């Protein structure tokens, strides 16, 4: 479901299936009931929807919004494989209602548009650079201690590094999780203070990370922190065999609770 109030909605599919869309009253507005609409512009949920479909099975819905009712993405299935991807923005006051996470951890918007309503906080960009290097592994005992004590143990690829005032934000893609006390999304933000002898993460590289969660006193921030004592090593295939024995030693990784802001 895409909640009412969403903006910058984009849904894509690259399969032999057909995308379909229902409104909040469970009525098909695009495709559905085994009838296929022609590509074009449609009035949906109080806004315009652009439906595109190419000859090579690629489809998309694009909706600027804001929508005035919930929308439901459906599939007219003719093929087992499905390559559906979708994204949308919600105002800050509605984001936590549906996702239960801090607005600060919303995936970074990749289009040329701004979100429907920006957070009220103000940030500035600096050109501060960090010259520290990734800290060396301090043996089997250190790896085990970090694995058992930290909230998150995962392998990730650094997609982007952005300076926000006195902090650095890393946009990472989660590739594999080993042990997490709280649920992770496919894309997450890591935060590190600029004045910190923290491990150095390079864009485009993959790392094995053991990090902790931080919630501030006012409970307005819910973050994954990259700190001076964080375990951060360039990923190598042998890391999997080194971590596997620790899963049983430190507890079941599947006993997790949602990561909420």
User: Which are the contacts of 99, defined by CB distance < 8 A and separation ≥ 6?
Assistant: 90, 106
User: Are residues 155 and 241 located together in one domain of the fold?
Assistant: yes
Q: How many residues does the chain have?
A: 261
DSSP state of 199: P
Please tell me the predicted confidence (pLDDT) of residue 82.
62
* pLDDT tens per residue across span 49-59: 999 988 877 89
| CATH number of the domain to which 54 belongs | 2.60.120.830
What are the φ/ψ torsions at residue 60 (nearest 5 degrees)?
A: -155, 150
Please tell me the predicted confidence (pLDDT) of residue 167.
84
| CATH number of the domain to which 163 belongs | 2.40.50.120
**Final residue before a domain boundary, out of 40, 64, 98:** 98
User: Are residues 151 and 89 located together in one domain of the fold?
Assistant: no
Q: Which residues pair with 7 in a beta bridge?
A: 89
User: Are residues 77 and 160 located together in one domain of the fold?
Assistant: no
Report if residue 116 sits inside a domain: no
Q: Which residues in the chain come in under a pLDDT of 70?
A: 80-82, 92-140, 217-220, 251-261
User: Are residues 23 and 81 located together in one domain of the fold?
Assistant: yes
Helix (H) or strand (E) holding 9: strand 7-14
Please tell me the predicted confidence (pLDDT) of residue 95.
58
Q: Please count the structural domains in the chain.
A: 2
What range does the domain containing 56 cover? 7-98
Report if residue 127 sits inside a domain: no
Distances (CA, A) of 240 to 91, 188, 231, 235, 255: 40, 21, 15, 9, 20
* pLDDT tens per residue across span 81-139: 667 888 888 776 665 555 554 444 444 433 333 333 333 333 334 343 433 344 444 45
Report if residue 156 sits inside a domain: yes
Tokens of 83: 């390559």
Please tell me the predicted confidence (pLDDT) of residue 228.
87
């Amino acid at each position: 479901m895409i909640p009412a109030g969403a903006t910058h909605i984009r849904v894509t599919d690259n399969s032999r299936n057909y995308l379909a869309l229902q409104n909040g009253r469970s009525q098909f507005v695009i495709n559905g009931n085994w009838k296929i609409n022609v590509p074009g512009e449609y009035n949906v949920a109080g806004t315009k929807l652009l439906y595109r479909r190419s000859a090579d099975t690629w489809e998309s819905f694009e909706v600027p919004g804001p929508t005035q009712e919930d929308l439901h993405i459906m599939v007219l299935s003719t093929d087992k494989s499905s390559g559906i991807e979708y994204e949308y923005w919600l105002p800050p006051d509605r984001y936590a209602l549906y996702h239960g996470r801090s607005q600060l951890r919303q995936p970074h918007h990749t289009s040329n548009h701004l979100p429907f309503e920006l957070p009220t906080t103000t940030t500035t960009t600096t050109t501060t650079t960090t010259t520290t290097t990734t800290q060396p592994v301090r043996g089997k005992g250190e790896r085990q201690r970090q694995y058992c004590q930290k909230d998150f143990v995962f392998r990730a690829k650094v997609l982007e590094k952005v300076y926000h005032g006195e902090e650095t934000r890393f946009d990472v893609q989660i590739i594999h999780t080993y042990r997490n006390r709280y649920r992770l999304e496919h894309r997450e933000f890591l935060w590190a203070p600029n004045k910190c002898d923290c491990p150095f993460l390079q864009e485009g590289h993959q790392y094995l990370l053991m990090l902790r969660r931080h919630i501030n006193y006012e409970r307005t921030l819910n973050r994954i922190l990259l700190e001076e004592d964080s375990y951060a090593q360039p990923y190598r295939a042998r890391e999997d065999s080194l971590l596997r024995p620790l899963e049983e030693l430190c507890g079941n990784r599947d006993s997790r609770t949602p990561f909420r802001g």
